[in-house]
Chain A
Amino acid sequence: MAYKFDFGAIVPHWELLLDGVVLTTELTVIGAVVGVSLGTLGAWARASRAPVISQIVGIYVELIRNTPFLVQLFFIFFGLPALGVKLSEFQAAVLAMIVNLGAYSTEIIRAGILAIPKGQIEAAQSLAMNRVQIFRYVIIRPALKKIWPALSSQIVIVMLGSSVCSQIAAEELTFAANYIQAVNFRAFEVYFVATALYLAMSVLLRWVLKIFGNFLFERRSHV
């Protein structure tokens, strides 16, 4: 083989890679927190019997789940300015991730809500709780607990999907890798390292989500 590996060629660019990792992490954290919150609201709307709002959310979910993330991102970044909404690369990337995760997590969380036995909701109704109280105290925690593994996987998928944001020059990890290999022509080494970094971030993220889930659903008295 003629190719001589030279991982040393990446070293001068380590700060770029680090910046990329940081930005990917920021995108993921904001996207996950806001996206899952949006998904929780969406799931509530879907599960409630308010027909109009439930249908609107349903359309949103189908729209997002049946179109590519890249196109959603382009629409937000290149399309919205036509309506006077001009976002920075970072803002557009984060919004696209929120909107995307919001749709997927709506469906995931909805499944968790539907798995709550009807009797528990009727018991709560019989105790004179209103809808908001029932959702907050009776439904959401057991529902999230049931679907936490699926939701965690979806968050990881969205984190990996953020690599697509390099396409609008959001300077996340893939953007950094693309940039570096364009200057040093060390495609193998650069993408090898980028792959390893994504892998490490995924493993770490899964671990963090697991710990967080344990904390959320742990049995501890609130009295």
Chain B
Amino acid sequence: MSLVELHAIHKSFGELEVLKGIDLKIEEGQVIALIGKSGSGKSTLLRTINGLETINDGTIMVAGKKVGDRDTDVLTLRLNVGMVFQQFNLFPHYTALENVMLSPQVVKKQSKAEAKEVAEEMLAKVGLADKMMHYPDQLSGGQQQRVAIARALAMKPRVLLCDEVTSALDPELVNEVLAVVRQLAEEGMTLVMVTHEMRFAREVCDKLVFMDQGRIHESGAPEEVFANPKTSELASFVGGLA
């Protein structure tokens, strides 16, 4: 059984069908890159995996449990599935350390000392041991994004979703965030990331998933997929990048 199984997922916004029957299995420890044109449904797909978008049809199984749309189900699902966003979304009124400690304390009911220990460990892991007392507006974009990653990791999710985590960053800050993601991948974290960093995807990912117009057109090992595009959509997407 895979860690996450999506079966025949359909999602519409009003008249617009954005996901048209998605099947995807995510294995423990796998690192998956979702690529595709703007508007192809990548973010929507990612967001259905942790219940930020409800689906119109299909099934989502996480860690062997079917996810219904009852609130309790969704909260349990989210304990297993962390997410990092393009815009960091740190809580502005808390320090980096408090941002990371908050959810373990209020959701997992960890003691302050326990939450602090975990938070310090996670912030050290993303290279921010010396910025723990800084507020978000006192941090660079790259640092904020690394805090956001630490915040998600502190919940010990089984899989981490990353939606274009470097797209809002100045070019010189991209690498420090990619380095953290790469390290997570090497440590065996299960990752699903939407990315436009093709070189990074090729180097780090086990599996590439190409989406176009709400469907998965091709997927497989990055080398294969890039070298022999089977569909004209992927061929033109890859061509457009060169």
For residue B174, CB closer than 8 A to chain A, the reply is no
For residue A137, CB closer than 8 A to chain B, the reply is yes
Contacts of A122 in B (CB 8 A): 52, 85, 89
What are 28 A-B residue pairs whose CB atoms fall within 8 Å in the complex? A117-B89, A120-B89, A120-B92, A123-B83, A123-B85, A123-B90, A123-B148, A123-B151, A124-B91, A126-B52, A126-B82, A127-B107, A127-B151, A127-B152, A127-B155, A129-B103, A129-B106, A133-B106, A137-B91, A137-B102, A137-B106, A141-B93, A142-B92, A221-B98, A221-B133, A222-B94, A222-B98, A223-B112
Structural contact, B107 and A133, CB atoms closer than 8 A: yes
For residue A67, CB closer than 8 A to chain B, the reply is no
Q: CB-defined interface of A190-223 with B at 8 Å, one 1/0 digit per residue? A: 0000000000000000000000000001010111
Structural contact, B52 and A125, CB atoms closer than 8 A: yes
Structural contact, B107 and A123, CB atoms closer than 8 A: no
Structural contact, B155 and A223, CB atoms closer than 8 A: no
Give chain A's interface residues, CB within 8 Å of chain B.
Answer: 117, 119-120, 122-130, 133, 137-138, 141-142, 145, 217, 219, 221-223
Q: CB-defined interface of B146-157 with A at 8 Å, one 1/0 digit per residue? A: 001001100100
Which of B22-30, B71-79, B218-226, B234-242 forms contacts with chain A? B71-79
Structural contact, B148 and A128, CB atoms closer than 8 A: no
Structural contact, B93 and A128, CB atoms closer than 8 A: no
- In the assembly, what is the distance between CA of A164 and CA of B92, in Å? 41
Structural contact, A142 and B78, CB atoms closer than 8 A: no
Structural contact, B87 and A119, CB atoms closer than 8 A: yes
Q: How far is the CB of A116 from chain B (nearest CB, A)?
A: 9
- In the assembly, what is the distance between CA of A126 and CA of B148, in Å? 11
Q: How far is the CB of A182 from chain B (nearest CB, A)?
A: 52
Can you name the residue of chain A whose Cβ is closest to the Cβ of B105? A137
For residue B116, CB closer than 8 A to chain A, the reply is yes
Give chain B's interface residues, CB within 8 Å of chain A.
Answer: 50-52, 71, 75, 78-79, 81-83, 85, 87, 89-95, 97-98, 101-103, 106-107, 112, 116, 133, 135, 148, 151-152, 155
**Number of CB contacts from chain A to chain B under 8 A:** 76
Structural contact, B52 and A129, CB atoms closer than 8 A: no
Contacts of B135 in A (CB 8 A): 219
Q: How far is the CB of A122 from chain B (nearest CB, A)?
A: 6
Consensus secondary structure, chain A interface: helix
Q: How far is the CB of A23 from chain B (nearest CB, A)?
A: 37
Residue picked from B75, B81, B89, B116, most chain A C-beta under 10 Å: B89
* Known contacts A133-B107, A223-B98; A127/B93 CB under 8 A: no
* Known contacts A120-B91, A142-B93, A221-B133; A126/B75 CB under 8 A: no
Contact of A138 among B78, B91, B95, B101 (CB under 8 A): B91
User: What 4 pairs between A and B have smallest CB-CB spacing?
Assistant: A123-B89, A127-B103, A126-B83, A128-B78
- In the assembly, what is the distance between CA of A154 and CA of B52, in Å? 37
- In the assembly, what is the distance between CA of A200 and CA of B133, in Å? 41
Q: How far is the CB of A64 from chain B (nearest CB, A)?
A: 30
Structural contact, A128 and B133, CB atoms closer than 8 A: no
Contacts of A130 in B (CB 8 A): 71, 75
Can you name the residue of chain B whose Cβ is closest to the Cβ of A121? B89
Q: How far is the CB of B116 from chain A (nearest CB, A)?
A: 6
Known: A221-B97, A223-B112. 6 other contacts (CB 8 A): A117-B87, A122-B85, A127-B103, A129-B106, A130-B71, A223-B116
* Known contacts A122-B85, A122-B89, A223-B116; A129/B98 CB under 8 A: no
Contacts of A124 in B (CB 8 A): 91, 103
Contacts of A123 in B (CB 8 A): 83, 85, 89-91, 148, 151
Q: How far is the CB of A140 from chain B (nearest CB, A)?
A: 10
Structural contact, A128 and B85, CB atoms closer than 8 A: no
Contacts of A221 in B (CB 8 A): 95, 97-98, 133
Structural contact, B52 and A223, CB atoms closer than 8 A: no
Structural contact, A223 and B78, CB atoms closer than 8 A: no
